[in-house]
Structure 1
Amino acid sequence: MSTALRPSACPGLLRIVQALDGGICRIKLDGGSISADQADAVANAAEQFAGGAIEATNRANLQIRGIGQQSAALIDSLLAAGLGPRTAAGDDVRNLMLSPAAGIDRQMRVDTRALAEQILDTLQSHPRFHELSAKFAVQLDGGEALAMLEHPHDVWLSAFERDGETLLAFGLAGCPTDRAVGAVALENGHALVVAALELFLELARPEQTRMRHLLDELPILAFLEQLRARLPIKAISAWQRVRAVDDLHIGAHPQHTDNRVYIGAVPPLGRLDPTMMRGAAQLARLFGDGHLRFTPWQSLLLPNVKATDAVQVLAGLKQLNLLTEPTDPLSTIIACTGSAGCGKGLADTKHDARILATLLHQAQRVHLSGCPRSCAAAHRAPATLLAVSPGRYDLYFRDATQPGFGALHARNLTIEAAATLLDARSRSPLDA
């Protein structure tokens, strides 16, 4: 495979990006899924050719950190495990997010996996699409109860039923909880994605790398009018995506088939070591279908487990130091790499996050960011601690009327002071 790649700040499997703690390799997983044997290959690569740190990302991918001089050997080992793109140029554009419970969710309207495979194949094989930014992303939502609906995407599709027909609502530069701009028949889902991406590339200037950049200048109705010339689009009104259920990515939950469950576990702060990865892979072989699925909550699922085996699997995951209870404060805290591994980080966020978890009286969804780039969270968290210096943070609370992290609540807090304010907020009736 040719490894001639365009310059980018985003790591890929074939493009190692340097950080303070060594090189970073990002492994994009089709639909977030990885076989147990492939998981072992990732564990081996991290152990043999890097520092052993494996990260689950907020796009349901994996990263290996701390890569030194053996980057070529690491890449070769991952390619041999079938974890790479078909062509080097196709790696960047494999940005298609599904529900981690695609095909098994009890609430799903449609199994999105076949359409996802078709879209991914086109993204990799269509040379024009290789011009897209490495951040340009598509979401395919089958109506699952377990779905990340808050991450913005350049194009999103969401399944629903109208008059007995399954349709795909769609939108641009937003989320499935936004107002849809139209709908297409299920069989036209692939054609819609192709047409939307081709039209974007025709209309956008080189510096307009994301759909939102184009729509800042071009009215969305003008884009939609040109899209209608390429495929049939149905008008849509009064449709609203049903909100997903919190905490379905952790613990045991029933699937759409009787006597089968999937089991979710959270690596503390999204980071696994090789022992955790190999142990989870072995549990998937023994009790599941031989696959793991990673999630946008920086966690993993074991699908297709017999309900009678759930207790044993949960115990096995706990022995690996994976979190399986949504009441564990560390299971709901996310943190970027911070100053221990990133030159832009102003504080050691992962260290501070562990302290915060011991101080909070109940689990809360909190995001610690070492700088304003917000690498750990693609969505706006209910509470964000933005580092301003080592051990000091500004506290923001989500506010739909304000951009970025939301409303600034307090400045220059220690972790202890932040914990006090977060606990007070959680007890407030106004926050219920």
Structure 2
Amino acid sequence: MTEPLSARPPATALRPSACPGLLRIVPALDGGICRIKLPGGVISASQALAVADAAERFAGGVIEATNRGNLQIRGIGADHDGLIRTLLNAGLGPRNPASDDVRNLMLSPAAGVDPQQLFDARPLAEQILLTLENHPRFHELSPKFALSLDAGEGLAMLEHPHDLWLSALNLGGETLLGFGLSGCPAKDFPVAAVPLSAGVELVVAVLELFLEHARPEQTRMRHLLEDLPVPVFLGQVSERLTTPLRTDRAITSWRRTPARVNAHIGFSPQKQSGLMCVGGVVPLGRLTPSTLRDAATLAVELGDGTLTMTPWQSLMLRNVRNERAALALDGLRAAGLLCEADKALSQMIACTGAAACGKGLADTKADALLLAAYLQERGVSPGVHVSGCDRSCAAAHTAPITLLAVSAGHYDLYFRHADQPGFGALRGRDLTIEAVGALLTADSRSNTDD
């Protein structure tokens, strides 16, 4: 049952943080920001309608899809309690109010229905989330401390870094849970593995040890590992488990199969016969209440009554019958979503920028629209991240191409490079959007990936 507003801790009891939550609305130039964390990215149609209504009633009508499969409401006015009460009454809050910050577990948006999955991640994910919510010590974790659970799906975000990542692997006919401490399965090897049955036990051991060892300023796993060698940490984890850690070379040299590119856009067949997922990109991560309502209606009429938000800032309908998939895609397109992977705008992300963020040096959303139109006219659709400052809020991993604002309408241009940290290799300084567009068009045949 959802906690009533009176049951949530007073504002002074919530950990100070710049990260918004459902119970902590943080200020920005355009008003308050409220972040709604969705288990596995899933929100029911009725809950989506409640979000749309709340965005209109208590804010300026701006809803954002985040890069971890959550939703945000921006431009919130003075009635914070009214907004929070509306969302809690819709069942969108945590079971334990003190746990709102730590419900950071990312799944594939196709968890449970993906043809390539090695197991259905949803039951294990629910156990992990319950543990995060009900283990009082875990409420001390930073709001940025994050976990991922990868069951081997073809539709999966594998590049986002996490403090603890879990990834299914099959060795000798047995499905194990490999894991890494800080990083991601796209780039890193597992440090060890456990049987699936030990998944929750492993999470508890890792998080308890992190909190026991980390100093207050060491808020992320990577900070702790600068002082504590991984083998030492693993030795202590092993002592807390009822099953041995596997650290043989078959584990530590395992590589995750790459995910399917652009599988979140358009049609994605499910493992269940006759059904598929249908998805569209939220343009620059911004949803209108009307779009969210239309998508919720489609979910009821053509899907399973739920929407799934993805780490690509897109939206999916699941369990759509094959013969109705085209109708669903047309409906998402009519609602304002981008349903073709070759559209320049569908490959572009941008932070809030100077229009609503005090740290932004340029109006990134407006500039991204200009750049997308320029590239679309020339048939070019690279993956582009437009960032108003070096915090890179819109992208949890390095994009193929990054524009870093240096002043209004001017950007430094970077191409991702495996051997260079940060945004990658600098390709141009202080460029206008037109200059960036010309350079990307001329370079469209070049390889901008790692």
Tell me the TM-score normalized by structure 2: 0.95
| Counterpart position of 2:428 | 410
Residue of structure 2 aligned with 1:204, choices 201, 205, 214: 214
SS at match of 2:102: coil
Question: In structure 1, what residue type is equivalent to 2:365?
Answer: K
In structure 2, C-alpha distance between the alignment counterparts of 1:24 and 1:431, rounded to whole Å? 34
Which secondary structure state, in structure 1, belongs to the residue aligned with residue 240 of structure 2?
coil
Aligned counterparts of 2:115 and 2:311: Cα–Cα separation in 1: 19
Which residues in structure 2 correspond to 1:12-411 (within 5 Å)? 12-177=21-186, 178-231=188-241, 232-235=244-247, 236-360=251-375, 361=378, 362-411=380-429
Q: Is the 8 A contact 2:269 2:275 kept in 1?
A: yes
TM-score (norm 1): 0.98
**% identical equivalent positions:** 64
Matched-pair contact (CA < 8 Å) for 1:146–1:249: yes
Segments of 4+ in structure 1 off by > 4 A?
A: 429-432
Shift of 1:117: 0.4
Change in CA separation of 1:96 and 1:429 when aligned onto 2, cut-off 3 Å? closer
Shift of 1:206: 0.8
Q: CA RMSD in A?
A: 1.1
How many aligned residue pairs are there?
Answer: 432
Q: Mean alpha-carbon deviation: is it higher for 221-230 or for 328-337?
A: 221-230
Cα distance change on mapping 1:263 and 1:414 into 2, 3 Å: same
Q: Matches of 1:238 and 1:319 in 2, distance apart?
A: 46
Give distance in 1, aligned partners of 2:296 and 2:28. 28
Contact 1:11 1:25 in 2 (8 A): yes
Instruction: Give the deviation of 1:429 after TM superposition.
Output: 6.5
Distance 1:262 1:97 in 2: 18
Query: Unpaired segments of 5 or more residues in structure 1?
Result: none
Q: Structure 2: any 5+ residue segments left out of the alignment?
A: 1-6
Aligned partner letter, 1:135: K
Cα separation, 1, equivalents of 2:101 and 2:59? 22
> What residue number does 2:9 align with?
3
Contact 1:425 1:431 in 2 (8 A): no
Partners of 1:242 and 1:431 lie apart in 2 by: 17
CA distance in 2 between partners of 1:238 and 1:342 (Å): 43
